[in-house]
Amino acid sequence: MRCLDATFLIDYLAGDRAAVEKAKEWASAGERLTVPAPAVAETLLGAYFEGGSALREALGLLDTLEVLPVDSPVAAEAGRMGAEQLRRGTAVPIVDLLIAAAAKFNQGILISRDSALGRIPGLAVETY
């Protein structure tokens, strides 16, 4: 299962070649694609701001993806991961921790260009 971060979704919607190629690859392989709820919010923030066709395209794309909820166990994992990063001297924004925790909790591979996420132990991250 691939778990899409907002960086991927935003790049895909902007027509980024690498993101579009990855999406085609996954579609042909029948890959299960998911998105953590906080990544939905991040993606829609910009789409609502832009409005018009940008909003329609974002809503259309998100409608095709399975949304991973952030419940109490996911939130607890985000807190644990964040504390571990602080002990290592690196602060990670809470929205990124919630996205990472949702992917990890659901045993997904997080697709992102956010380099901070790649430093979280036990989190499978794939760039594009």
> What is the percent of the chain with per-residue pLDDT over 90, rounded to a whole number?
98
Domains and CATH numbers, the chain: 2-126 (3.40.50.1010)
pLDDT per position as a tens digit, 45-86: 999 999 999 999 999 999 999 999 999 999 999 999 999 999
DSSP state of 127: -
Q: Which of 5, 45, 46, 44 is nearest to 22 (CA)?
A: 5
Its pTM stands at 0.94
pLDDT in tens, 93-108: 999 999 999 999 999 9
C-alpha distances in Å from residue 53, one per residue of 14, 28, 59? 12, 26, 10
pLDDT in tens, 23-40: 999 999 999 999 999 999
Gap between the terminal Cα atoms of the chain:
16
Closest C-alpha to 128, from 27, 4, 45: 4
Q: Please give the full DSSP string across 78-102, using - where no structure is assigned.
A: HHHHHHHHHHTT----HHHHHHHHH
pLDDT digits (tens, 9 = 90+) for 8-17: 999 999 999 9
